[in-house]
Chain A
């Protein structure tokens, strides 16, 4: 454990960000997916003014969950394919730092997609969604998705069915996040108080990050 913890986290994060800046593969495909998904949703659900009010936060979050799954699968599959995962595991660094680095990368990408999505949804659905509280909810919610998602994706990319298994394993587990963030988003759109819900999301985040940090060591064993 020679390299300091923070330095490892940021090296991995920097690597992921640099790869992304050069290829622009992940964020652009995630963003494109979310736009398409929102358009298809509004067609399929025939979202008129009334229905929109009820459904818009659900649509937003389900879309973001799938975008996050998309990103996680890609980011961890490429680590394995290029053999970088093995290199990181051989290196004398703390496993929790590797987890944090990978988790932050996915977190940042998904937050970017979410933030880009807000003005788009504002235009499409005529709700003012670009608010500081919305950004806060995005950050807290996506932290929950990325933290448990990184742990599960590290497992599922090592299985036979790979990409198909992550949504199956992840969707039920992130249900507490989805439930609470959808409630919080609804509360914001209706100008209601959402401190209580925010606290619940924070607790779930802490729980997931703790679980992820402690269990990551075991899913990277060989």
Chain B
């Protein structure tokens, strides 16, 4: 298992570097926005990475409730931590891009707000986890909240359709009327975006979650050894 994890990690690192090459080398400089547009190749893929990780949390939660096997809870918590990191990366890259394009780091746009709320929901998940001492109850409640929390992810995905007065550009489908900073999706843009999307929405979250699950297993093992030492 460890060996395949190492191989996967190697593949992920090489893929991310390749993706960065596509963003900074292969893709042409945007005529209107300049080099700052290149951040988009990380910005959007990192959101979908978070989406994958949070989906992992839902799967882990549902399967834990059904089977009560601890490994599913490890998957759920790994999904939350990795997804939270990717969601924060998504927010940070968005802010860096918005500074020159929208002339502000942050604006109370519906999509920005819902993305921030999404991140806070998963912080609340971690708080809830820490607030419960009984291990079984902690896993149970965390599974339930992990399932409920996915609604904020879905909201962030759909918000442009519900609240159309946003200035955030849409990449899939037509952009909202007031969108600022839209750029043309030429074939070259698509060629640089698609591999990055694939890498960030599969390889990156899966590798990180695998490491996190491994960490969880190790710490449980240490716990068990400690108990044995105390008892002997």
Contact = CB atoms under 8 A, between A and B. Distances in A.
Contact of B147 (A165, A215, A221): A215
B131 interface: yes
Contacts of B117: 172, 175
A158 B132 contact: yes
A169 B163 contact: no
A62 B99 CA distance: 31
A173 B128 contact: no
Interface residues of A, number: 26
B148 A159 contact: no
B128 A175 contact: no
Given A156-B128, A160-B133, A183-B163, A219 B141 contact: yes
Contacts of B118: 172
A159 B142 CA distance: 12
B71 interface: no
A211 interface: yes
Given A160-B132, A172-B124, A219 B148 contact: no
A219 B120 contact: no
Interface in B111-153: 114, 117-118, 120-121, 124, 127-128, 131-133, 137, 140-141, 143-145, 147-149, 151-152
B141 A180 contact: no
Interface in A114-158: 148, 151-152, 155-156, 158
The 8 closest A-B pairs by CB, nearest first: A172-B121, A159-B131, A215-B144, A172-B117, A168-B124, A160-B131, A155-B141, A161-B131
8 contacts: A152-B148, A161-B127, A172-B117, A172-B118, A175-B114, A179-B155, A180-B162, A211-B147
